[in-house]
Structure 1
Amino acid sequence: GDVLLRPILEAAGKDISHWFNPKTKDIQTHVDPLTGCLKYYTPQGRFIHIPPQLPCSDWANDFGLPWWKDSKYEVGILASKTRHIRIVNTLTSQEHVLEVCAEESMWDILRRYLPYNAHAASYTWKYEGVNLNMDKTLEQNKIPDEDEEFYQLNLDSSLYMPAILLYFNDDLTEF
């Protein structure tokens, strides 16, 4: 019933390695644009052993080792890297954010986007005005992953996500 368990339970069985700094194995951090202070980056919500955003007298920090540093738990890696992309339907102006694996082809991403648009295959997928090769990955389609650069600059990588634009193909035209 603890609300701090919700992000962990929602991610159960999924790859959460992107929550962690690959070098330090600690939770990702960023500079809060409002306070200018370094804080944990938890876009999925605060979870167990993460301090509250503001000082609080009822937060107990006597738990010892945080769960992510406890050797009895293993944060699995299901993908070499995950990243977030925006998919924008230019016909309806609807926008969705998907977390995708580096190894996924554009066809794989299209299949994961189908719950949002069952006709996604009837669209031309483009990035910066260039048609995407659906057999290739984001990297192979020259869609850069700039997460590491954002991390080095202590910026929140969710401030910028590459946008893939979908253009409807009028495949019902009569000749």
Structure 2
Amino acid sequence: MPRTSRAEQADATRARIRDAALAAFAERGFHGTSTREIATACGLSPAALYVHYASKEQVLHEISLAGHREVLGRVRESVAGHDDARQRLRALVSAYVAFHAERATLARVINYELAALAEDHRLEVEAVRRDIDEVLRAGLAPFTAVDTRTAAVALESLGIDIARWYRPGGRWTPQTLAASYVDLAVRMVGA
């Protein structure tokens, strides 16, 4: 049986820390969560946590940056290969909404805990958010009946808010929500 390297063990521990922090931040918020609670949840001492992360804020930054990059990747991928503007819009809204339902816990933390990030970390995440916004605006641009800036903000707000209330096993699946939101978006832009 192959041995696990120190680097692999450290990566696995960092992943456990991020998972524990994500669950705690989603439940109690960044400021309501202590490093001791995160460490205990993943079977570490508080001192051991600091071997892997310099601060609780650094953990939030890593979670937030990775989450926003995942959204960006999904929306970029969704529009690739669609020549028809209406199909591009449908794919884009579907991907955006599905992310916020499928990854509701992550989406809740990355969108509602931004103010807890240090300024340099917040600016880095905001740059990715601007890239997401640009993809959404580009998907809306062919529909001249609407102001793309306002429509993008409306769609972003609708998607982000899903993370606040969505729970798996409820009335809607990520797919049914995505289909409903696609219909709303198409009507909103007059497509």
Q: Give the TM-score normalised by structure 2.
A: 0.29
If asked which structure has higher relative contact order (CA below 8 Å, sep 6+), I would say: 2
Hey, which of these two has a bigger chunk of helix by percent? Answer: 2
Structure-1-length-normalised TM-score? 0.31
> Of Structure 1 and Structure 2, which has the larger fraction of its residues in strand?
1
